Amino acid sequence: MLGQRLRNLRHDRGLSLKQLSEEASISIALLSQVERDQLDPSLDTLRKLAKALNVPLFSLFHEVAEEVVAVVRRSRRPSLTTAPGAVSYTRISPGFGRLEVLEGILDPGGASSPDLWEHNSQECAVVLAGTLTVEFAEESYSLTEGDSIYFDSKHGHRYVNSSPHPCRYIVTVTPPSF
């Protein structure tokens, strides 16, 4: 499903495999394998592709017709998990509109990305359980259960769990770009 969606988005934009691979800074071979569903890409690769295609990350998985009211059942939430020991996200919001809501779970020692990254959005996160460090530009902010943070995502940032316990948090992004 991911491969077909990527191929459709690439074709809709009139891009060749080479053009998209260059724009996303990934190899043509990797892109080709992902489009043929022969390889599950890393979160970093998915972020690069979403950015190159100018779409929110979770929109790579499927398109949802816009509804006036949408109920997202916990058992039907789309999810994305990076390598063990990192982060997993499930989308709480339905995947359309101007707001994206995600539940993140960071394993001890995990991070939302290998490096600080930026995108054209604003974010607000609240910690539900555990301790979360938000690295933002040159600063770090330590949050515990009930604490929240709001920032402009155009600046480099990432979420890190330096504690020995898992961290669970909700993050909202507007406009969707995750």
What's residue 82's pLDDT?
Answer: 67
| Cα diameter, the chain | 47
The per-residue pLDDT for range 163-176, each reduced to its tens digit, is 999 999 999 998 87
pLDDT tens string 126-147: 999 999 999 999 999 999 999 9
Amino acid, res. 163? S
Per-residue model confidence (pLDDT) at position 164 = 95
pLDDT in tens, 142-162: 999 999 999 999 999 999 999
Cα(38)–Cα(53) distance, integer angstroms: 21
At what angle are helices 43-53 and 17-24 packed, to 10 degrees? 110
Is the Cβ–Cβ distance between 53 and 123 less than 8 Å? no
Q: Which domains does the chain have, with CATH numbers?
A: 2-55 (1.10.260.40), 74-174 (2.60.120.10)
Give the containing element (helix H, strand E) for 29: helix 28-35
- Structure-block tokens of residue 47: 């972020």
- Euclidean distance between CA atoms 78 and 27, whole angstroms: 27
Tens of pLDDT, residues 18-48: 999 999 999 999 999 989 888 888 888 888 9
Tokens of 23: 């724009």
